[in-house]
Amino acid sequence: MKVAQKIWQDLLSLFYPDLCLACKEVLVGNENCICTNCLYELPKTDYHRIPQQNEVCTKFWGKVPIHYGLAYLFFRKSTAVQQLMFALKYQGQADVGLFLGELFGRELYKAGFTQQGEYGTFDAILPIPLHPRKEAKRGYNQSAYFAQGLSAGLQVAVRADILVRKIETQTQTQKDRLQRFENMKSVFAIENRESIVGKHLLLVDDVITTGATLESALHLLLENGAAKVSVGAIAVAAR
């Protein structure tokens, strides 16, 4: 049975090969989602080496106190990273979030984001939630997949049962920063509040632009007893 399945999979790969989500070239060997060349060329921020003094942190200065600001990649238009984010959000390629999350989680772990490491660890990873209607339409929450990948690399549990979205907001893409923040007021709610009291939480999203969505959720977590909040993302919009 396994032999027949392997033959069938090989035939499918021959006629319908897996393609790199960044450059659309055929994946070979053990390549997953992204070819080796594109993976090597990804524009990493290295912000985990300066987790309190970087572009992610500055987006929240004077608005909400975050402990660490983390992002794996720089996001620019018409680049491989934009292709990857488009595939993740709009083409059903949830595995790319899982894959990038695990890669980033491993880098964070090696850099000292551990219980005994230089930067310490987190008590839980919280993905930014989608409204249930939007998640049902998309079929998944892309930030939750990224959180699961981070969890595997960092060895920190994901808690998707704490932060919930109670209002379905309008699209943020055409709004300026103030409009985005106004659009996000009262969008989120907290469940299982006792689980976050006194904890250090890592709140994660796919791409950080103005940070308005995260800002609203961070305020709520702190108001409900979280001791510290940090932010993580696959990518941050580059200036």
What pLDDT, in 10s, does the model give residues 90-148? 999 999 999 999 999 999 999 999 999 999 999 999 999 998 898 899 999 999 999 99
Q: Tell whether 64 and 32 lie within a shared domain.
A: no
Exposed e or buried b per residue across 118-151, where buried means at least 16 C-beta atoms within 10 angstroms of its C-beta? ebebbbbbbbbbbbeeeeeeeeebbbbbbbbbbb
Q: Tell whether 35 and 122 lie within a shared domain.
A: no
Q: Tell whether 136 and 165 lie within a shared domain.
A: yes
Pairing of strands 200-208, 228-237: parallel
CA torsion angle for 125, 126, 128, 134 (degrees, to 10)? 110
Q: Supply the range of the domain harboring residue 122.
A: 43-237
Band of the pLDDT at 18, cuts 50, 70, 90?
confident
Predicted model pTM: 0.87
Does position 77 have pLDDT exceeding 80, yes or no? yes
State residue 1's pLDDT score: 45
The answer to whether the CB of 194 falls within 8 A of the CB of 226 is no
Band of the pLDDT at 13, cuts 50, 70, 90?
very low
State residue 29's pLDDT score: 82
Please state, in angstroms and rounded to a whole number, the distance separating the CA atoms of residues 173 and 38: 27
Q: Tell whether 128 and 61 lie within a shared domain.
A: yes
Q: Tell whether 64 and 165 lie within a shared domain.
A: yes
Q: Tell whether 47 and 19 lie within a shared domain.
A: no
31 to 18, 25, 27, 82, 127: CA distances (angstroms): 9, 11, 6, 20, 26
Residue 169 makes CB contacts below 8 A (sequence gap 6+) with: 131, 183, 184, 187
Does position 168 have pLDDT exceeding 90, yes or no? no
Q: How many domains does the chain have?
A: 2
CB atoms within 10 A of CB 173: 7
Does position 233 have pLDDT exceeding 70, yes or no? yes
CA-based nearest residue to 48, from 64, 68, 66? 68
Q: Tell whether 107 and 4 lie within a shared domain.
A: no
Q: Tell whether 144 and 209 lie within a shared domain.
A: yes
Q: Tell whether 17 and 91 lie within a shared domain.
A: no
CATH number, domain of 74, equals: 3.40.50
Q: Tell whether 132 and 37 lie within a shared domain.
A: no
Mean pLDDT (the chain, rounded): 89
Q: Tell whether 167 and 123 lie within a shared domain.
A: yes
Q: Tell whether 104 and 3 lie within a shared domain.
A: no
State residue 185's pLDDT score: 65
